[in-house]
Structure 1
Amino acid sequence: MKKYNILLLAVFVVGLSSAVSAKGLSGVVLDKRSGIYWQDTLDSKESSEDWDDAVAYCDKLELAGMEHWRLPTFKELFSIVDYKRIKPAINPAFDFTEEGTYWTSTTFAPNVSRAWTIDFRTGKSFYSYKTTNHAVRCVRDVPEVSAKENK
């Protein structure tokens, strides 16, 4: 399987300094900057699914009383890479991370039978056949709070 590194590091390397464990929500990390919840459970460390099953797993996930989870985009998953760390190269807000490759929802444009992945041993990105098994970490958008509710 051919793998290519993305050379867009300067575009996507942003710290997750606003990542915190969501109060009262077990198994969830909140990224205030991007407005998404991240799954952080033993399943996100031990999962191994092909791409279609990864999409289905996130779609069916109920975590911390919340539904509507999804597979993260390449940009979202890449945002939690921390190059100051290795094995795993991930923001320390996360407790459960496989030292391996995770799926993104982003299909590899030149060949739709492949999708982008990120290897958290090193933080490098690759594309992989969708029939290959990789780890899964789901995300969920944080619902917007209306202006009335903030008053």
Structure 2
Amino acid sequence: MHRHAFFPLTLGLFGCAVASDEPATRDAPGAEPPGFVDARETPTGPAPAIDAAPASTGLTCDDSTCVDPSTGLTWQSPPDDSARTWADAVAYCEALTVAGGGWRLPRVQELRSLIRGCPNTALGGACRATDPGCTVRACMEGCDQCATTIVNDEPVCLWAPGLRGSCRQAHWSATEYTDSIDPGAWYVDFGHGAFVHGWLRSQPLRVRCVR
């Protein structure tokens, strides 16, 4: 059974099926986010025209980037292994010079466009989180995780084939929450059932930049 709670309460564990002899564990926020907040703020610049499920599953990749032909987005691949606070994640992407620069932190629906194998959180699924459009608490409805699979103590990443990097920890999006005691932002946890949720911006998560 899924349980939802909002800041300052602690979120409870969400059920998941694990293809392993060991129980699935969720390190923060793959453990449970201690709180999440809500936002009507959006990053500057035009919103990407991404509002439906990707038409293809694969990416076109080179040594440092992957292009998704279904969205036209170019993704940093692989990202570095550092976890960053939300503000540091924004600054990191803006300063990134890999493959010519021009990077930024992705909006929540852009991260969702990478989800494969979890129809409810992939674009076009039950999850309504999108920026701009639906960034408030009610938009979490339908954003619960799918089954988590563990192989050799590593989660199977529910993202597009060809994408490199670790999914042991969730990835920050640029989409903020602002209606709670502490500021937060949306994240996508590709390694724990493609879970879409929010967490405190002061906490460190993984970063994958986009352009």
Short-chain TM bin: 0.7 to 0.9
Q: 1:13 to 1:88 in 2, by over 3 A?
A: farther
TM-score, normalised on structure 2? 0.55
Asked if 1:127 corresponds to 2:205, the answer is: no
Return the letter of the residue paired with 2:185: A
Cα displacement (A) at 1:3: 5.5
Please give the secondary structure, in 2, of the residue aligned with 1:139. Answer: coil
Counterpart for residue 37 of structure 1: 74
CA distance in 1, matches of 2:96, 2:55: 24
Matches within 5 A, 1:48-63: 48-63=83-98
Counterpart for residue 47 of structure 1: 82
Please give the secondary structure, in 2, of the residue aligned with 1:2. Answer: coil
Q: 1:72 to 1:53 in 2, by over 3 A?
A: same
Q: 1:97 to 1:16 in 2, by over 3 A?
A: farther
Counterpart for residue 117 of structure 2: 83
CA distance in 2, matches of 1:123, 1:101: 9
Aligned residues, how many?
129
CA distance in 1, matches of 2:201, 2:36: 13
Return the letter of the residue paired with 1:118: V
Q: Is the strand fraction higher in 1 or 2? A: 1
Superposition RMSD on alpha carbons, in Å? 2.5
Runs of at least 4 residues off by over 6 Å: none
Percent of residue pairs identical: 27
TM-score, normalised on structure 1? 0.75
Cα displacement (A) at 1:15: 3.4
Q: Is the helix fraction higher in 1 or 2? A: 1
CA distance in 2, matches of 1:89, 1:118: 10
Gap regions ≥5 residues in structure 1: 5-10, 141-151
C-alpha distance after superposition, 1:99-141 (max 9, x if no partner) = 220000000253471000011111011101000000000001x
